[in-house]
Structure 1
């Protein structure tokens, strides 16, 4: 089943799909759907112009969840990416699993996942160290190190699946990813930069940005082993047009990038957090942790949320800085936030979104392949601001290939397109012969294709 809410819809429309025909479910009504049935063309007329308008908001942000990795991995390999397995523990396993389950239920999830287990285990480890229970703390530390190693391996396994897939399928998957990213990033230089946020630990977005020629600006500075800097300067990229001096212009194809939960190639070394040169799709992270300057770091020092730091001050860093970037980017007037593949399972992110919607000129667009636990629709009801929320939920709407080919704006909204549109409108309105003039339906189709 699919859910759609765009433009002037007062409530989400529920419909089923059969080939190129769609049928509204009982209780759903739409003026543009004749007798409760419509085709792909009618659906595109409802969605594409609306998204094109929203994507040209003064401030635009994209929040990508694990659904993006699964979608690209499925295009490349025919199956979903590796998921997060349970953390195998023998030390205080019952207490850790109970705490993880309680935390998951408080966040609206049915069962605790590996992140919940890691968070509870790290807190328990600090408690054991405070109580000076050395042997039990040491045992738990070794189990956590092995668990982090296995978790990092599962992340790299997903990257490897894409990198080693059949060439034709791999190219198709990356081309779709590039089109997806450029639909957001193709903003004119006079507008605020696109902000990309992700909860994923893999480097799929980075790989797609490299293929697309998209420049990503993040908090890391340096070349050989970049260091995460707290003093985020609003660095940008400009160029000087030929023959013009002193008037630099914004370079197109630039976006600001934030990985809210860290990354598989972020390592804590002493007081710094560095990004190591881990190739996309590497078999293991362990060999790349043996480089000089990392101080013999192990998988326990990987900055994967929640991190493995021993003290509370370090545990909050760098994630508190990254979430502050999210709030500063989206909680602004005339701001649009688009989520793709995000299941609304992280309360700290949901809190920022809730605060964003208190500004009347903001808008939230939720795009998701499915909603198996019902968290998206539950969050939609709890937010209580339907006029500021658009929904595209279901395989007929959010399949990555279908979405990029039919519903997302084309990857270049430039002056040439608008000039061509105006020229065609002028010619259509001045043709003398009525027979030569296109029908109103044809003109509507042409105008829709030009938007």
Structure 2
């Protein structure tokens, strides 16, 4: 008789276990650190013995084909949070990335802290962070200027500028830690990042482009895409100092196959990037948002803000959400455009959204994801190493669309190295496998004993995975 052990998913994660829900699972399957399934009565695929233990091979057979199928959706989007930066930082041997802990204001300290705490609790978080404090301080600064409290406004603006500048430096320090890490560890971390991105971006040219969204301010995804040879498209236009454009033209990258007449083909390895909360290299200058040439891992941003054309910009002009320059209209721009892109991309039929390292602490993002799930043909895949503030499991528990959600969480399933090596699909291998299965079926036919000899080759023929000769 199988002994029933009670562990909540949150307790299992804290004990370095794993939580999984894929395919036809009706409930979350809780797996202990030793691989033992703690709720076997809810798991239809658990080994039928007195000690139901699952290993990586069983998990891979369960997860990889499922993700491969989901990644063939008409619309595929990837949402990355701070977890991806932390994961790559740990692999590089430099510890965690930028923290979002609270800072200290000397002017109006109690008022800012109290209002930031109320704002955080209204968003479902227990404690405020530096983003909440900057948002409140910005509102307070506008109020002081309206009241014409010029001296207090000047002091607060000076302190706010210093705090945002230090916050930007902490982001750059996170980048510098990775860029200057010990060579072998740095190269290993970059390889994992490249393979991670290629698992998503390696879609065939006849499918809609991968949409990458991130709440991070650093440029880790841009660096990974550059190393992987992935062409990123965003709203910025230009070369020397690209400018943000509100017009969202359907720009793309094509090529003409040699010796073939007809329309150009879509180039593979192209993705769209949207940084929902801005970036450390976005600066407001003269009513425009520009991206400055800031090297990855540079010590300080200050020298780059003195470039001609930036009109003496300081840290207050950095487009780091929720920092805004001067007025409410500017506060809503360009973020309103970015979130419109996010909603338009994921709230479409036959759409799959994969989140990695996103803790579901941003209600404005969660609302869009919830709206996406109201479309029956959509699917949400949540991948995370842990759930420190409990927001991921809370989102799942309170959702009425559990059948449209897959969960991969824990020390094994959420580890970016294990995930990349064992569980994420390899697009090149998948296409070769499909072509091989088609070739064998044409050569030997369905009655040739293929079912008995090579059951692994019995993959469905996906009509929209085209060969280069079509």
TM-score w.r.t. the length of structure 2 is 0.90
- Range moving further from structure 2, 420-429 or 173-182: 420-429
Matching residue of 1:212: 228
- Tell me how far 1:439 sits from its aligned partner: 9.9
Distance in 2 (alpha carbons) for counterparts of 1:308 and 1:128:
16
Give the equivalent residue in structure 1 for 2:188. Answer: 172
**Are 1:380 and 2:393 an aligned pair?**
no
Q: Residue in 2 aligned with 1:89?
A: 105
Are 1:149 and 2:203 an aligned pair? no
Q: Which residue of 1 aligns with 2:81?
A: 65
User: Is 1:236 aligned to 2:249, yes or no?
Assistant: no
1:31 alignment partner in structure 2: 44
Aligned-partner Cα distance in 1 for 2:433–2:77? 24
- Inter-CA distance 429–341: structure 2 relative to 1 (3 Å threshold): same
Aligned to 1:368: 384
Match of 1:189 among 205, 227, 235: 205
C-alpha contact 2:36 2:54 (8 A) present in aligned 1? yes
Q: What secondary structure, in the 3-state scheme, does the structure 2 residue paired with 1:396 have? A: coil
Contact 1:345 1:375 (8 Å CA) reproduced? yes
1:428–1:366 CA distance, 2 compared to 1 (3 A): farther
Q: In the alignment, what sits opposite 1:6?
A: 22
Q: How much has 1:308 moved relative to structure 2?
A: 2.6
Is the 1:367–1:392 Cα contact (8 Å) retained in structure 2?
A: yes
Equivalence for 2:292: 276
Structure 1 outlier segments of 4+, above 4 Å: 424-432, 437-440, 444-448
Matching residue of 1:290: 306
Could you give the per-residue CA deviations for residues 218-237 of structure 1, whole angstroms, max 9, x where no partner exists? 00000000000001111001
Q: 1:111-126 alignment to 2 at 5 Å? A: 111-126=127-142
Q: Secondary structure at the match of 2:420?
A: helix
Give me the whole-angstrom Cα distance separating, in 1, the residues matched to 2:458 and 2:144: 67
Counterpart-to-counterpart distance in 1, 2:267 and 2:429: 15
Q: Deviations over 1:249-273 (max 9, x none)?
A: 1010000110000000000001100
Aligned partner of 2:120 among 86, 98, 104: 104
Tell me the residue number matched to 1:343.
Answer: 359
Aligned residues: 442
Change in CA separation of 1:185 and 1:117 when aligned onto 2, cut-off 3 Å: same
* CA distance 1:308–1:28, change in 2 (3 Å): farther
Gap runs ≥5 in structure 2: 1-16, 463-470
1:187–1:413 contact (8 Å) kept in structure 2 = no
CA contact (8 A) 2:94 2:177 kept: no
Q: What displacement does 1:78 show?
A: 5.0
Cα deviations across residues 88-134 of structure 1 (Å, max 9, x unaligned)? 21111111111111111111111100000000000000000000000
Aligned partner of residue 17 in structure 1, secondary structure: coil
In structure 1, the residue matched to 2:466 is none
**2:151 matched to which residue of 1?**
135
Contact 2:355-2:383 at 8 Å conserved across structures: yes
Unaligned residue ranges in structure 1 (runs of 5+): none
SS at match of 1:266: strand
User: RMSD value over aligned CA atoms?
Assistant: 2.0
Moved more, 270-279 or 243-252: 243-252
Alignment of 1:236-275 (within 5 A): 236-275=252-291
Match runs of 1:323-334 below 5 Å: 323-334=339-350
